[in-house]
């Protein structure tokens, strides 16, 4: 059970980078669900996969949330219905507890992979809960938030793109 960290997204637009983040989120959630299954894996693969999932949700997901909260939402403020931006804030806040639960279980599994069967009994429901919540949110963003990005001025797109790259410590390359 090996996974590749990060999705190589096209770096030509903020929209494509945000969509790439959504692909990563979905992939790591699927990997967490698989890790909680009875799918055969070596002890080392279990530990490495659990650690990768934990790292993504501890580091990668917060970067994506910051992209939306700090770079996208302020620029959409003039054109987006206030309810849309309020829902974005509420949704992001509601994901924190579920994300911490998944990260904690993956950390535990990464440290003691021999207890996979026992930990998987808690990891499975945690991964399913976060998957359901995030999938609803991601679809909502793709249907409601992303289309608004097309209405932004080119300068706003470039600023968002630059902020996303700087947030990750990359001047021109995505992740």
Q: What is the pLDDT of residue 11?
A: 56
Nearest to 101 by CA among 88, 77, 119, 81: 119
Q: Which residues of the chain have pLDDT under 50?
A: 2-10, 171-175
14-167 CATH pick, 1.25.40.10, 1.20.120.520, 1.10.1790.20, 1.10.3720.10: 1.20.120.520
pLDDT of residue 152: 95
- Any alpha helices (H) in 69-152, and if so which ranges? 73-76, 82-111, 116-140, 146-149
Domain coordinates of the chain in residue numbers?
14-167
The answer to whether 163 and 67 are in contact (CB under 8 A) is yes
Q: What is the pTM of this model?
A: 0.89
How is residue 78 annotated by DSSP?
T
Work out the mean pLDDT of the chain and round it to a whole number.
91
* pLDDT computed for residue 13 by the predictor: 85
Structure tokens of 31?
A: 């990997």
pLDDT digits over 41-86, tens only? 999 999 999 999 999 999 999 999 999 999 999 999 989 999 999 9
């Amino acid at each position: 059970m090996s996974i590749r960290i990060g999705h190589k997204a096209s770096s030509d637009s903020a929209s494509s980078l945000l969509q790439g983040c959504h692909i990563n989120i979905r992939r790591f959630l699927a990997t967490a669900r698989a890790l909680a299954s009875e799918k055969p894996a070596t002890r080392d693969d279990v530990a490495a996969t659990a650690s990768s999932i934990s790292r993504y949700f501890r580091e990668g997901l917060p970067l994506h949330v910051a992209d939306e909260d700090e770079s996208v939402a302020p620029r959409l403020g003039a054109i987006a219905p206030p309810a849309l931006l309020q829902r974005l804030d509420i949704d992001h806040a509601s994901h924190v507890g579920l994300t911490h639960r998944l990260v904690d279980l993956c950390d535990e599994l990464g440290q003691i992979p021999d207890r996979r069967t026992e930990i998987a009994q808690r990891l499975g429901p945690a991964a399913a809960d976060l998957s359901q919540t995030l999938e609803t949110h991601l679809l909502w963003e793709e249907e409601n938030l992303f289309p608004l990005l097309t209405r932004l001025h080119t300068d706003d797109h470039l600023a968002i793109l630059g902020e996303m790259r700087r947030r990750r410590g990359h001047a021109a390359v995505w992740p």
